[in-house]
Structure 1
Amino acid sequence: MKQLYCLLLLGGLRVSTAQAQAPTPPPPAHVTLSGYVRDLATGENLIGVAVVQAGTGRGTATNTYGFYSLTVPTAGLDSVRLVANYVGYERGRWAAPATGSAQHTFRLPAAANELADVEVVGDRRAADDHGPRSTRMGTINVPIAQIKSLPKFMGETDVLKVLQLLPGVQSGGEGSSGLYVRGGSPDQNLILLDGTPVYNAAHLFGFFSVFNADALNNVELIKGGFPARYGGRLSSVLDISMKEGNAQALHGEGAIGLVASRLTLEGPIKKDVASFIVSARRTYIDVVARPFIQSQLKKEEQAGSLGYYFYDLNAKLNWKVSPRDRLYLSAYRGYDNFYANLHDADEGRTNFRRSDSRLGWGNLTGALRWNHVVNDRLFMNTHLTYSQYQFDISEGSERRYLDQGQPATSTSALNYLSSIKDFSFKTDFDYLPSPDHYLRFGGQVIRHAFRPGAVVQNSMTDNLASASASGSRTAGTESAVYVEDDYRLSARLKVNAGLRLSSFYVENKLYPSLEPRLAARYMLTDEWALKGSYARTTQYIHLLTNSGIGLPTDLWVPATATVRPQVAHQFSLGAARTLRYRGEAFEFSFETYYKPMQNLVEYREGASFLNTTDGDWQRQITSGRGWAYGGELFLQKKTGRTTGWVGYTLAWSNRQFAELNRGQIFPYKYDRRHDVSVVVIHHFSPTLTLSGTWVYGTGNATTLASGRYEVGGGVIFNDYGDRNSYRMAAYHRFDLDLSKTKKKRWGEVVNSLSIYNVYSRRNPYYLYFDAALVELNGTVVQPASYKQVSLFPIIPSVSKAFKF
Structure 2
Amino acid sequence: MLFTALAFLLLPFTGLAQKFTISGYVRDAKSGENLIGVAIFNSVTGQGTATNAYGFYSLTLPKDSVKLVASYVGYERGLFTTYLDKDLQHNLLLAPAVTTLQEVEIVNTQVEEDIRETTRMSTINMSVAQIKAVPALFGEVDVLKVLQLLPGVQSGGEGTSGLYVRGGGPDQNLILLDGVPVYNASHLFGFFSVFNADALNNVELVKGGFPARYGGRLSSVLDISMKEGNMNEVDGEGSIGLIASRLTVSAPIKKDEASFIVSGRRTYIDVLARPFMPKDEVAGYYFYDLNGKLNWKVSEKDRLYLSAYTGYDEFYATSEGSRTDNQKSRAGLGWGNLTSAFRWNRVLNQRLFLNTHLTYTKYQFDISNEEEATYQGKDYNYKLKYLSNIRDLSAKLDFDFIPNPSHYIRFGTQFVDHQFQPGALQVRGNNGGTAEDLDVNTVKTNAQEMGLYLEDDVRLSERVKLNVGLRANGFAVNKEFYSSLEPRASVRFIANEKLSLKASYANMTQFIHLLTNSGIGLPTDLWVPSTDKVKPQRSHQVAMGATRTLAQDKLEVSLEGYYKTMHNLIEYKEGASFIGISNSWDTKVTTGKGWAYGLELFLHKKTGRTNGWIGYTLAWSNRQFPDLNRGEKYPYRYDRRHDIELVVIHQLKPNLSLSGTWVYGTGNSITLPEARYVVGEAWEGGYGGTQTYNDYGSRNGYRMAAYHRADISLSHTKKKSWGEVVNNISFYNAYNRKNPYYIYIAGGENEGDAPRFKQVSLFPVLPSVSKTFKF
**8 Å CA contact 1:118, 1:639 repeated in 2:** no
1:713-724 pair list within 5 angstroms = 713=681, 714-724=690-700
1:345-364 pair list within 5 angstroms = 346=322, 348-349=323-324, 351-364=325-338
Secondary structure in structure 2 of the residue aligned to 1:598? strand
**8 Å CA contact 1:59, 1:126 repeated in 2:** no
Counterpart residue number, 1:67: 56
1:225-304 pair list within 5 angstroms = 225-292=209-276, 294=277, 297=278, 303-304=280-281
Distance change >3 Å, CA 118–CA 143, structure 1 → 2: closer
Distance change >3 Å, CA 550–CA 357, structure 1 → 2: farther
1:694-773 pair list within 5 angstroms = 694-713=662-681, 714-772=690-748
Q: In structure 2, give the amino acid aligned to 1:588.
A: V
Distance change >3 Å, CA 730–CA 373, structure 1 → 2: same
Question: Structure 1 residue 73: deviation in Å?
Answer: 1.3
CA distance in 2, matches of 1:454, 1:734: 43
Secondary structure in structure 1 of the residue aligned to 2:504? strand
Q: Which runs of 5+ in 1 are unaligned?
A: 1-26
Q: In structure 2, give the amino acid aligned to 1:414.
A: L
CA distance in 2, matches of 1:549, 1:705: 21
Counterpart residue number, 2:160: 176
Q: In structure 2, give the amino acid aligned to 1:265.
A: V
Question: Structure 1 residue 100: deviation in Å?
Answer: 0.6
Secondary structure in structure 2 of the residue aligned to 1:658? coil
Q: 2:464 aligns with which of 483, 493, 499?
A: 493
CA distance in 1, matches of 2:17, 2:483: 46
Q: In structure 2, give the amino acid aligned to 1:68.
A: Y
Q: Which runs of 5+ in 2 are unaligned?
A: 1-15, 682-689
Question: Structure 1 residue 260: deviation in Å?
Answer: 0.4
CA distance in 1, matches of 2:73, 2:373: 66
Counterpart residue number, 2:5: none
Counterpart residue number, 2:149: 165
* 1:159-215 residue CA offsets vs partner (Å, 9 max, x unmatched): 000000000000010000000000000000000000000000000111000000000
CA distance in 1, matches of 2:551, 2:257: 43
* 1:507-566 residue CA offsets vs partner (Å, 9 max, x unmatched): 111101000000001112222111100000000000001037584210000001111000
Counterpart residue number, 1:31: 20
CA distance in 2, matches of 1:654, 1:152: 31
Q: 2:617 aligns with which of 630, 649, 658?
A: 649
Q: 1:585 aligns with which of 554, 560, 567?
A: 554
Question: Structure 1 residue 711: deviation in Å?
Answer: 3.0
Counterpart residue number, 2:304: 327
CA distance in 2, matches of 1:125, 1:333: 33
Counterpart residue number, 1:20: none
Question: Structure 1 residue 126: deviation in Å?
Answer: 7.9
Counterpart residue number, 1:423: 393
Counterpart residue number, 1:12: none
CA distance in 2, matches of 1:394, 1:796: 35
Q: In structure 2, give the amino acid aligned to 1:332.
A: Y
Question: Structure 1 residue 712: deviation in Å?
Answer: 3.4
Counterpart residue number, 1:600: 569
CA distance in 2, matches of 1:266, 1:84: 26
* 1:379-431 residue CA offsets vs partner (Å, 9 max, x unmatched): 111110000000001111112223xxxx3332111110100000000010111
**8 Å CA contact 1:315, 1:330 repeated in 2:** yes
Counterpart residue number, 2:504: 533
Q: In structure 1, give the amino acid aligned to 2:350.
A: D
* 1:55-79 residue CA offsets vs partner (Å, 9 max, x unmatched): 32110011111111011112xx3x3
Secondary structure in structure 2 of the residue aligned to 1:609? coil
Counterpart residue number, 1:80: 66
Secondary structure in structure 1 of the residue aligned to 2:327? strand
* 1:693-726 residue CA offsets vs partner (Å, 9 max, x unmatched): 0000000001011011123341111100000001
**8 Å CA contact 2:36, 2:53 repeated in 1:** yes
Counterpart residue number, 2:4: none
Matched, 1:376 2:346: no
Distance change >3 Å, CA 429–CA 446, structure 1 → 2: same
**Bigger mean CA deviation after superposition, 657-666 or 37-46:** 37-46
Secondary structure in structure 2 of the residue aligned to 1:610? coil
Q: In structure 1, give the amino acid aligned to 2:71.
A: N
Q: In structure 1, give the amino acid aligned to 2:20.
A: V
CA distance in 2, matches of 1:513, 1:58: 37
Distance change >3 Å, CA 291–CA 126, structure 1 → 2: closer
Question: Structure 1 residue 305: deviation in Å?
Answer: 2.5
Identity of paired residues, percent?
Answer: 61
* 1:77-102 residue CA offsets vs partner (Å, 9 max, x unmatched): 3x311111111111111112222111
Distance change >3 Å, CA 118–CA 728, structure 1 → 2: closer
Secondary structure in structure 2 of the residue aligned to 1:715? strand
Counterpart residue number, 1:575: 546
Q: State the TM-score, normalizing by the size of structure 2.
A: 0.94
Secondary structure in structure 2 of the residue aligned to 1:712? strand
* 1:289-337 residue CA offsets vs partner (Å, 9 max, x unmatched): 1112x2xx36xxxx04311100000000000000000000000000001
Secondary structure in structure 2 of the residue aligned to 1:765? strand
Q: In structure 1, give the amino acid aligned to 2:318.
A: N
Secondary structure in structure 2 of the residue aligned to 1:669? coil
Q: 1:662 aligns with which of 597, 606, 630?
A: 630
* 1:325-367 residue CA offsets vs partner (Å, 9 max, x unmatched): 00000000000011112111x2x20x33211111100000000
**8 Å CA contact 1:741, 1:751 repeated in 2:** yes
Q: 1:310 aligns with which of 277, 287, 292?
A: 287
CA distance in 1, matches of 2:21, 2:604: 35
Secondary structure in structure 1 of the residue aligned to 2:554? strand
Superposed CA RMSD = 1.7
CA distance in 1, matches of 2:313, 2:147: 23
CA distance in 2, matches of 1:552, 1:142: 28
CA distance in 2, matches of 1:190, 1:550: 15
Counterpart residue number, 2:428: 458
CA distance in 2, matches of 1:748, 1:390: 39
Counterpart residue number, 1:58: 47
Q: 1:367 aligns with which of 304, 318, 341?
A: 341
**8 Å CA contact 1:428, 1:441 repeated in 2:** yes
CA distance in 2, matches of 1:61, 1:599: 38
CA distance in 1, matches of 2:721, 2:749: 67
Counterpart residue number, 1:13: none
Q: In structure 1, give the amino acid aligned to 2:193.
A: S
**8 Å CA contact 1:309, 1:336 repeated in 2:** yes
Counterpart residue number, 1:792: 763
Q: 2:75 aligns with which of 86, 89, 93?
A: 89
Aligned length: 748
1:424-573 pair list within 5 angstroms = 424-471=394-441, 472-547=443-518, 551-573=522-544
**8 Å CA contact 1:58, 1:125 repeated in 2:** no
1:12-27 pair list within 5 angstroms = none
1:114-129 pair list within 5 angstroms = 114-115=100-101, 127-128=112-113
**Bigger mean CA deviation after superposition, 637-646 or 438-447:** 637-646
Distance change >3 Å, CA 566–CA 143, structure 1 → 2: same
**8 Å CA contact 2:71, 2:111 repeated in 1:** no
Question: Structure 1 residue 118: deviation in Å?
Answer: 12
CA distance in 2, matches of 1:548, 1:30: 56
Matched, 1:639 2:607: yes
Distance change >3 Å, CA 651–CA 228, structure 1 → 2: same
Secondary structure in structure 2 of the residue aligned to 1:272? coil
Distance change >3 Å, CA 791–CA 310, structure 1 → 2: same
Q: In structure 2, give the amino acid aligned to 1:589.
A: S
CA distance in 1, matches of 2:522, 2:21: 55
Question: Structure 1 residue 772: deviation in Å?
Answer: 4.5
Distance change >3 Å, CA 548–CA 457, structure 1 → 2: farther
**8 Å CA contact 1:266, 1:278 repeated in 2:** yes
Matched, 1:148 2:148: no
